[in-house]
Amino acid sequence: MPPFKSLIQVDKTLPTPVFLQLSEQLGQLIRAGTLVAGQRLPGTRQLADLLELNRQTVVAAYDEGLAQGWLESRAGSGTYVAAHFPDIKPQLLASNDSTASVLGTDSTGTQPGYAFDSLNFLVRPVLTNSAGLHLDDGFPDIRLAPMDELSRAYRSYFRWGNPQTHFGYGDTKGHLLLREQLSLHLNETRGLRTTPENILITRGSIMGLHLTSQVLLRSGDIVVTGETTWAGATMNFRKTGATILTVPVDQHGLDVDALARLCEQKNTIRMVFVTPHHHYPTTVTLRPDRRIRLLQLAEQYRFAILEDDYDYDFHYLSRPILPLASADREGMVVYVGSLTKSVAPAFRIGYVVAPTALIDELARLRRIIDRQGDPMLEFAIGQLLKTGDLKRHFRKALRTYHVRRDRFCELLTSELAPIVQFTKPDGGMAVWARFDPAIDMDALATRAGQKGLFLSSGVFHNPPGQQLHGTRLGFASSTEEELERSVMVLRNVLGSSFGFPGFIRPW
């Protein structure tokens, strides 16, 4: 008989009933091969005496094992380990590790016992809001978010309406109130011509890009992007097996003449990905004549345009240029946007705007990934659009970010020229900064972090075989005083670590 008194340890102080603890530990012994198929277990009275338990506790544990299929009862003979289990070779404890897992050979729990493909192109640094000084990728200032208004909208969700409707399953496309209000907002501010049926609400724009890629792309399809582009998009394209080709990006945005030549050579282009309002990462705006030409090429060669308009709401020169989707007459543009950058990253609200046939298909695919979004958050954001609170927030944030952009650009010019070169962006929440080629960008980011300033090295913006020596320096999420301190830290790091002694200034 196995040494049950040593093998089984129950803890009566735990919230889990003792009979369930006993039943589970018997199951673990069976899975580990300590108890083998067909082995007879002690009688309930005998095991109760061994473990100093009430006999009824053991009876309940055996009943649970019978119900789970681990055990079987034989009339007049007793309780046995079920005969249908295969022979399992008991695992030996490693000589220097008394905690080896019964789940596999790796006692640390890091590696499974089966093989799978790990895709290197999915490895990408996770950008987070830093609690200290930061020149981030271009995040909003969460301190400006309309939290009180959102809180009131959330409470109204609980107070009003039918609970069965509010807390049951909802529309896969998103809460109707948000789609209605967002349709009105997009038509008013972006010149679109939508109805709620043209909109799918997603958890951020990245879900919209993923769903669109999965529906429109197949292995071997050609997707064209700029030489510099957003890695989050290209990762999705590559996951489908698509081939990615690139064209140059200059001070006027995507080179559509180069795209036209590519179309002549490869007349099977399936999709072109663009961020025309503020190109990522360089922030340049696609010139109007290039926009027209891009739409003409899409109609001629029948490729889809995936337009990511990630920060349309923040443009500082009068009225921003309207999206490509506003001039689309042939249904060639899939328009993806987000309220995440406009409010706060934690509020995962994105959207896809497209002809209804595509929206319906995207919704069907979304259903097997994520049955629906967050109805409470979607309702709350819809309420803020309906009451005008969100539009007031946009106007307030726009004024604030405009002032911060101007002050930040002044600081870059007065404190970091000529080591740092940039063009003042017309909009968005970050500056694309190019550093002196003598500067190691990885080392710069590391040493700035040691001084309390987070910034990205920008190396993941580099096209294959090129060194841009550039990165995005976000200004929107920092106050003017925080921006001044950040630039002084950066200046001192450049002076002390990279041979620019004239840049060192005492605090």
Please count the structural domains in the chain: 3
Q: What is the pLDDT of residue 507?
A: 39
**Among 332, 336, 287, which residue's Cα sits nearest to residue 310?**
336
CATH number of the domain that 73 lies in? 1.10.10.10
Q: CB under 8 Å to 500, separation ≥6 — which residues?
A: 419, 494
Looking at the structure, do residues 356 and 234 belong to the same domain, yes or no? yes
Residues 454, 354, single domain; the answer is: no
Task: Give the tokens for residue 313.
Answer: 């709401």
| CATH number for the domain harbouring residue 378 | 3.40.640.10
Same domain, 318 and 462: no
Which run of H or of E encompasses 495? helix 480-497
Separation CA 457–CA 135 (nearest Å): 11
Residues 450 and 335 in one domain: no
Is 102 domain-assigned? no
Helix H or strand E segment including 471: strand 470-474
Question: The pTM is what?
Answer: 0.74
> Is the domain of 373 the same as that of 408?
no
On whether both 234 and 315 belong to a single domain, the answer is yes
Q: How many C-beta neighbours within 10 Å does residue 103 have?
A: 13
* 263 close to 224: Cβ distance less than 8 angstroms: no
Q: What is the full per-residue pLDDT of the chain (507 aa) written as tens digits? A: 778 888 888 888 888 899 999 999 998 888 888 888 888 999 999 999 989 999 999 999 999 989 888 898 888 889 999 887 665 555 554 444 444 444 444 555 777 777 777 777 777 666 665 668 999 988 888 888 888 888 888 777 777 666 666 666 678 899 999 999 999 999 998 899 999 999 999 988 899 999 999 999 999 999 999 999 988 899 999 999 999 999 999 999 999 999 999 999 977 899 999 999 889 999 999 999 999 999 999 999 999 999 998 888 888 887 678 899 999 999 999 999 988 777 777 778 899 999 999 999 999 999 888 877 778 888 888 989 999 988 898 899 999 999 999 999 999 999 998 899 999 998 889 999 999 998 999 999 999 999 999 999 998 888 888 889 999 999 999 999 999 999 999 998 988 777 665 555 543
User: Does residue 121 sit within a domain?
Assistant: no
The verdict on residue 45 lying in a domain is yes
Interatomic CA distance for residues 372 and 34, integer angstroms: 45
Range list of H helices, 266-368 = 288-301, 356-367
Strand 243-247 to 222-226 pairing? parallel
* 422 and 369 within one domain: no
Q: Which DSSP state fits 187?
A: H
Q: Is 389 left (phi over 0), alpha (psi -120 to 50) or beta?
A: alpha
Q: Which has the closest alpha carbon to 137: 232, 247, 34?
A: 232
Burial class of residue 260 (count of CB atoms within 10 Å of its CB; 0-12, 13-18, 19+): middle
How far is the C-alpha of 252 from the C-alpha of 254, rounded, in Å?
A: 7
Same domain for 164 and 302, yes or no, is: yes
Q: How many CA atoms lie within 13 A of 230 on its CB side?
A: 20
Alpha carbons 84 and 69: distance in angstroms, whole number: 10
In sequence order, the 6+-apart residues with CB closer than 8 A to the CB of 488 are 415, 505, 507
Answer whether 97's CB lies under 8 Å from 105's CB.
Answer: no
Work out the angle at residue 337's Cα, subtended by the Cα atoms of residues 317 and 239, and round it to the nearest 5 degrees.
130
369/453 same-domain check = no
Whose tokens are 């895709």? That residue is 119
In a domain, 419, yes or no: yes
Do 352 and 417 share a domain, yes or no?
Answer: no
Q: Is residue 8 part of a domain?
A: yes
* Peptide bond preceding 418 in cis form (omega within 30 of 0): yes
Q: Is the peptide bond before 90 cis (omega within 30 degrees of 0)?
A: no
**Among 356, 391, 426, where does a domain finish?**
391
- For residue 111, being part of any structural domain is answered with no
* Closest-CA residue to 153 (of 332, 3, 356, 375): 375
**CB within 8 Å of 202: residues ≥ 6 apart:** 174, 208, 211, 350, 351, 352, 366, 373
251 shares its domain with 372:
yes
For the chain, state the CA radius of gyration.
Answer: 30
- State whether 292 and 427 are in the same domain: no
Q: Is residue 110 part of a domain?
A: no
Q: Are 413 and 93 spatial neighbours (Cβ–Cβ below 8 Å)?
A: no
165 lies in which domain range?
148-391
Task: Tell me the C-alpha distance between 321 and 312, whole Å.
Answer: 9
CATH of the domain at 450: 3.90.1150.10
Residue 53 lies in a domain: yes
pLDDT attached to residue 502:
59
Single residue among 391, 414, 448 that ends a domain in this structure? 391
Write down the pLDDT at residue 172. Answer: 86
